[in-house]
Amino acid sequence: MAANSITENDSNPAALAGKTIAILGYGSQGHAQAQNLRDSGYTVIVGLDPERGSAQQREPTDDVVSPTEAAKQADWIQILTPDETQAELYLAAVAPH
């Protein structure tokens, strides 16, 4: 079976231009993806539950709001929390918006 390779030429970075991207969760994946997107020139907000997230994890330039507020503001949402919490987070913060 042949594997399909996807390269940067297969994407359209302009599709996210002018959009607000919310990163829900700020562990290893959330932090890396938020930083990469921000460094690539995109508008990024981080949805972080103040009871679970650590202020020390945040970059000084990150716009940090609650997950619900991030979902309200975002055009694109990435849920990067542990698998066992994603359904509850989606129902509480994303689905209403």
For residues 54, 96, 36, 17, the Cα torsion angle rounded to the nearest 10 degrees is: -150
2 vs 31: which has the higher pLDDT: 31
d(CA 43, CA 22): 9
Binning pLDDT at 50, 70 and 90, where does residue 88 land?
Answer: very high
Q: Quote the pTM value.
A: 0.81
Binning pLDDT at 50, 70 and 90, where does residue 56 land?
Answer: very low
Residue 93: what pLDDT? 95
Sequence-separated (6 or more) residues with CB below 8 Å from residue 68? 47, 92, 93, 96, 97
pLDDT exceeds cutoff 50 at 27? yes
Of residues 58, 1, 46, the one with CA closest to residue 20: 46
